[in-house]
Amino acid sequence: MNIKRTKKTINFMPYLLLLMVIVGSYLFLNTLGTKVNQLSYTELTESLNKEQVTELAVTPKSGSGVYIITGKLKNYKSNESFSVTVPYTDTVISSLYEIAESKGLKVETNTNPENSAWITILINFVPILLFGLIAYMMLVKLGNGNKGTFDFGKSKAKLAEENGRKTFKDVAGLKEEKEEVQELIDFLKNPKKFTKMGARIPKGVLLVGPPGTGKTLLARAVAGEARVPFFYISGSDFVELFVGVGASRVRDMFKQAKQTAPCLIFIDEIDAVGRERGTGLGGGHDEREQTLNQLLSEMDGFGENEGIIILAATNRPDVLDPALLRPGRFDRQVTVNRPDVKEREEILGVHAKNKILAPTVNLKNIAERTPGYSGADLENLLNEAALLAVRRDKESITMDEIDEASDRVLMGPAKTSRKVTEYEKKIVAYHEAGHAVSGIVLPNGEEVHKITIIPRGMAGGYTQMLPKEERTLVYTKKELEEQIITLLSGRASEETYMHEISTGASDDLKRATKIARSMVTEYGMSSLGPMQFEHRSESVFLGRDYNKTKDFSDQVALQIDQEVKKIIEGCYSEAKRIVGKEKKLIDILAQTLIEKETLTKEEIETLVEQNSDYKIVHDEKERKEEDTKSEEKDNKKSKKQEK
């Protein structure tokens, strides 16, 4: 559907009237402030003889046969002067010059009165014209568009350009999400098919998901596929300092949409205007709530099949007003999750189209090494790699740049210039070796992809560990305990081999404690039984943790702390046992780290196969067989201990 756009015409009359008022006021004030006294020639000569004249100027007035003599007397004020008109004769002027010379008064003669008049006009009127022109330009700038003071109530919704349309081909992954919004496209293309069956298409669709997962891109693709006008606006564009502006903009936006129906309206970050009413420590926000009320009434106001569909995006659906989510408004919620490994490969393929990649770069391997990355993260990863390739004067992007870019995105740039003592290097090496060995030894441990002791960001080093199989929904108690063991193994290695503990494990302790507390209070994985004692309400009005719900007594709180301590101490004991048993492997890893500073996955696997009894398994079938064998061994050990 093509929309004919016409430029907004400007009414020049108000600005012309304003300019006339400014010029008239200036001339009136200028005339009001000056006083000209008319003298006779006799009075002038008497004043000259008495030496009362301080200034004197003679100007011949061409075509009229007279001279205009102007000047000032001693008793005149600064804005006061005199004027004398005399016949155009040489005798009169000559006698005037003689008297002035005898009294030592210099007479100014204007030989070219026409030029003098033009100069006077320029001096008096050009500043006025310049001021008026500047005022006019400012008013036009304020009056144009939707951002001016004259258009406060106008909608700020922008119409997407035809040449910038997106389609589903531009959106990698999101297979289920595309299927969910496909019927919206069908309705916009052929609404009669739905109305004939008596079906009511959803008025509003809410796209929910973490930041950077492609909610806005999906909305643009829906409009592009349907080939309908696409209005987009941010939730914060409704709310202004002036009361009532937001509601007026909502009305104007729906008015424009009805004129171009069928169309799509996309409201990004709708939580800025759609938060629950009457909440917060200081009460509600009247302007925002008025805007929300108007939005709710407008969504009810237009007919069921007028052809206007509202798409909105947010990553905080929990703070939205319930009235906004009821049937008849945002009938449907589409969750846009982070991509899985297959979708990440497709997204990388889209963003790699304009990049020069080396033949050794495998997008599938990159996708496997980036679990949890959103589409925006993957785009940023390739962009950082491209910047590094340019900085290093390379002709293409290699895996070295992609590895470095991944590290920069996760931890920040490497602190290569930072001076690190040999003792610090050694303690960090043993710390990271402890993490790596736990990941290798534990049956459900994650694969170690990289170990480095080069400082990055706030960390002195880090171990990059990735899950063997991508998991997003369910974790068992044993897997969570092994996560805690892996986190605590760095500190256990320091204590075992350096006979000292450092501050380097602070983040590990924080994460381990959080997992343990969640096991007790949220997942029911303790001796307190299958009960949930805490749930995260994360109220944004009071702070994320300020309003955490706690449905238990002080006595139960003590038991929770004891259970958390029990889990942490048990996992720490197991971590110390593992690092103590694998002394040879930890020593080899730590010494190699001190020499090379960074170990890749292949180098780690080589060291493990040469210096331990553990076999690195890459095939999924073999890994499951190994896991089954290790579980059987653990069951036999537990039965022996029970006997």
Find out whether 450 and 464 touch, Cβ atoms under 8 Å. yes
- For residue 568, the tally of other CB atoms under 10 A from its CB is 18
Three-state secondary-structure class, residue 48: helix
CA distances to 24, 34, 130, 244, 356 from 29, in Å: 9, 9, 18, 41, 71
Concerning whether 43 is annotated as a catalytic residue, the answer is no
Strand-strand pairing, 549-550 and 534-535: antiparallel
Q: What letter represents residue 627's amino acid?
A: D
CA–CA separation, 205 vs 178, rounded Å?
Answer: 13
- Measured CA to CA in angstroms, residue 563 lies from 488, 513, 516, 558 at distances of 17, 11, 9, 9
Q: Which residue among 289, 432, 447, 481 is the active-site one?
A: 432
Tokens 């756009």, residue located: 5
CB 579 within 8 A of CB 496: yes
Backbone angles phi, psi at 238, to 5 degrees: -80, -35
With tokens 């009894």, the residue in question is: 613
Which H helix or E strand runs over 489? helix 477-493
CA 107 vs CA 56, 96, 110, 467, 602: distances in Å: 5, 9, 10, 101, 102
Q: For residue 123, which of 133, 112, 115 has the smallest C-alpha distance? A: 115
H or E element at residue 450: strand 447-452
> Are the CB atoms for 44 and 92 separated by under 8 Å?
no
8-state DSSP, 496 = I
Counted residue by residue, the chain has a size of 643
Structure tokens at 360: 């050794």
Q: What are the tokens at 141?
A: 């700038």
Residue 89 near residue 124 (C-beta atoms within 8 A):
no
Using CA atoms, how far apart are residues 201 and 234, in angstroms rounded to an integer? 24
- Calculate Rg over the CA atoms of the chain: 41
Q: How far apart are CA 616 and CA 436, in angstroms?
A: 13
Amino acid at site 339: P
Pairing of strands 66-73, 80-87: antiparallel
Name the burial class of residue 225, with classes exposed (0-12), middle (13-18) and buried (19+) by CB atoms within 10 angstroms of its CB: buried
What CA–CA distance (Å, rounded) separates 588 from 611? Answer: 8
d(CA 577, CA 328): 60
At residue 109, φ and ψ (nearest 5 deg) are -115, 125
> Could you tell me which of 50, 88, 91 has the C-alpha nearest to residue 69?
88
Element (H, E) at 441: helix 422-441
Q: Which residues are catalytic?
A: 432
